[in-house]
A and B are shown apart, each in its own frame.
Chain A
Amino acid sequence: MATVRAPKTVQNVTATPDRATLARMLYFLKLTREAEWRIEQVLYRQGKIVGGVYTSRGQEAITVGTAIQLVDGDVVTPTHRDFAAHVIRGTPLQKIFCNWLGRADAPTRGRDGGPHIGDISRGIIAPISPVGAWCPVACGAAMALQRAGQGRIALTYFGEGTSARGDVHEAMNLAAVRKLPVVFVCNNNGFAYSTPPEKEYAVKSLAVRGPAYGMPGASVDGNNVLVVYAAVEKAIARARAGKGPSLIECRTFRMTGHSAHDAAEYVPEDLRKAWAKKDPIERFQKILLREEILTKPQLEEMDRRIQKEIDDAVALAEASPFAAGATAVEGVYCGAECWWEKPLN
């Protein structure tokens, strides 16, 4: 069976982002925005997507600013709105498109849809639809990492709506009790499907729950990737040093409906407009230009490259066949002869 890739080094605490990392962050922000746009605005409208479409539009900075700091041997449990985590960890783009199209070459071979992708060799644990169920799973991965003693951590994401679930409470409590190397990242994107925060929790900021469990809690601007990076950098360093978990609430806004079929008429127009002015990608791009980290031609080149990567990946995914119907009954159990290790077609 596949296991998480062995760490290359024992200690690897990241520093404040260097120029190359800053450029990579912008690349992953843009790649996420464009790839999800292709899924939602093109492939879905063409009727090619199987199932619902959930994107991270507007909140990409949270995933990018956090997952970019992971190293080999770390584990991440993404939500359905953490597209960037997969590409940052190296999951090929065409594999992701294959999953949205329900094809045989997808990581799930057509067995699960859209964002439910995992790859244990890359330390990615696939989400399931009952949200936040992966938070305790992240704790268990962290138990194994803690025992291995190589300074590896688990990063687990969840939304403000999910924060109401017992699993999140149980996971935070367990992580604090056992000083597990877990970083809890809450993307507070303003709506849990159609339900606003005031119907999900009664505290001013979810950050206060950190100290309530016995861990640090912070609330930051989730639309500023540098702010997210800095907050999580501290939490990750703490986890790597064996000092236990942290909670970071990243305030953002879901710039789409819950899914592509949801027009989100429950969202007040002025609220949406106010958040549109705080677009995390535009903000970050301006900073990089101003600070001369990237030039305009370099940006244009990056945009072209991203479009080409997406075009190529979509073409490969569309060329992938569907798995034969009868494969549905294979591989329910893991045995000596693993179905997943055989070629499908």
Chain B
Amino acid sequence: MPTLTYLDAIRQGIWEEMERDPSVFLLGEDIGAFGGAFKVTAGMLEKFGEDRVIDTPISESAIVGAAVGAALMGMRPVVEMQFMDFIACGFDQIVNMAAKIHYRWGPAVPIVIRGPSGAGVHGGPFHSQSNEMWFVHTPGLKVVMPATAYDAKGLIKAAIRDENPVIFYEHKFLYRRIKEEIPSEDYVVPLGKAAVRREGRDITVITYGAMVWTALEAAQELEKEGISLEVVDLRSLLPYDEELVLASVRKCSKVILLHEDTRTGGMAGELAALIAEKAFDDLDGPLLRVTAPDTPVPFSPPLEEYFLPTAQKVIGAARKLAAY
């Protein structure tokens, strides 16, 4: 099995879907000859031609709107946001147009909007955001964020084959930092299904994206203290895998909700409400959130370090919970 980085896994997933299905095409800024700001689409213009790898003006609203129009004609557009921060410029087309078409009058809108998100590379307030909750609060969309290279490929393929608009968050910190062996044969990772990344007994950490690795790091440390962490990777945020989340909560009875996104209105709050409603009797301690604070993402390294959740912060929360 070939070893691929997270970035190459996404690239290969898109590549294979374009080979498999001629209705798949790409739209975005600098994705053609330049191959995209992070080179996710490198080589695609040469392989698939200008009809299928379309460099657009800096017009996020028109890019998403055009994707919707093409999708209504039976195409499967894959849009690149150069940074997921810029998705705000296409917001109306996503939440008012794409998300509501099927519900309002029936047609499928099979579009994927993908791009780099997340901090850890000193990108500052406009190249580092985790803005996934803008879309998790929009019925009609699906929201996905892979944590591993295997999932990155399997989820992008599933997203492209899905009949609904999918917002696909790639974590830029993971692009070239993680790699793994990927099967050569075709596979998908189904949307809406979480995965247990590490089995544990005492506390479950429910998280997604790059924070999966932070949780795993914390779990390794805590093992030395005799605290056993389970790590659940949501993979899809909308819809999310309620069943697996509740099963893990019932098994461990103590819960840490971890994300890189800011605190108020984050995924942790949603999960806490779910757990309080459906697994209250199974809890042996408070639901603890480990998240970024409610601030924009700061630029300079000490500020950004302070902002980001770390393994140490997870360890602190776990020790607190272990005392219950």
Contacts and interface: CB of A to CB of B under 8 A. Distances in A.
Interface stretch (B6-14, B61-69, B178-186, B291-299): B61-69
B104 A174 contact: no
Given A143-B69, A333-B140, A126 B59 contact: no
A225 B109 CA distance: 35
Contact of B105 (A126, A135, A141): A126
Contact of A140 (B71, B96, B102, B139): B71
Interface residues of B, number: 40
A334 B108 contact: yes
Contacts of B142: 333
A331 B77 CA distance: 22
A75 B108 contact: no
Nearest to A120: B107
Given A128-B96, A174-B62, A144 B102 contact: no
Contacts of A331: 102-103, 106
A137 B61 contact: no
Interface in A326-345: 331-335, 338, 340
B64 A332 contact: no
A130 B104 CA distance: 15
Contacts of B73: 3-4, 75, 140-141, 144-145
Contact of B74 (A3, A137, A142, A173): A3
Contacts of A174: 56-57, 59, 62, 66
A139 B69 contact: yes
A113 to B, nearest CB: 10
B37 interface: no
Contacts of B195: none
Contacts of B104: 108, 111-112, 116, 118, 126
B72 A125 contact: yes
Contact of B70 (A107, A118, A140): A140
Contacts of B71: 140
A1 to B, nearest CB: 5
A2 B92 contact: no
Contact of B66 (A139, A334, A340): A139
Interface stretch (A31-39, A45-53, A164-172): A164-172
Using C-beta atoms within 8 Å of the partner chain, give the interface range for chain A. 35 or more
Chain B interface mostly = helix
Contacts of B93: 133, 136-137, 167
Nearest to B56: A174
* From A120, A137, A173, residue with most partner B Cβ within 10 Å: A137
Interface in A118-138: 118-120, 125-126, 128-130, 133-138
Contacts of B106: 2, 107, 120, 331, 338, 340
Contacts of A166: 61
A336 to B, nearest CB: 8
A125 B69 contact: yes
With a 10 A CB-CB cut-off, give which of B67, B92, B103, B108 has the most chain A CB atoms: B103
A117 interface: yes
A147 interface: yes
B61 A170 contact: yes
Contact of B59 (A119, A144, A173, A340): A173
Given A120-B107, A126-B105, A133-B92, A177 B66 contact: no
A307 B1 CA distance: 72
A140 B62 CA distance: 8
A144 B164 contact: no
Given A174-B62, A332-B139, A334-B164, A137 B72 contact: yes
Given A1-B163, A331-B103, 17 more contacts: A75-B69, A116-B104, A119-B105, A129-B96, A133-B93, A137-B69, A139-B65, A140-B66, A140-B71, A143-B54, A167-B65, A170-B57, A170-B61, A173-B57, A332-B103, A334-B108, A340-B106
- Give the 6 A-B residue pairs with the shortest CB-CB distance, closest first: A140-B69, A136-B65, A140-B66, A170-B62, A144-B73, A141-B69
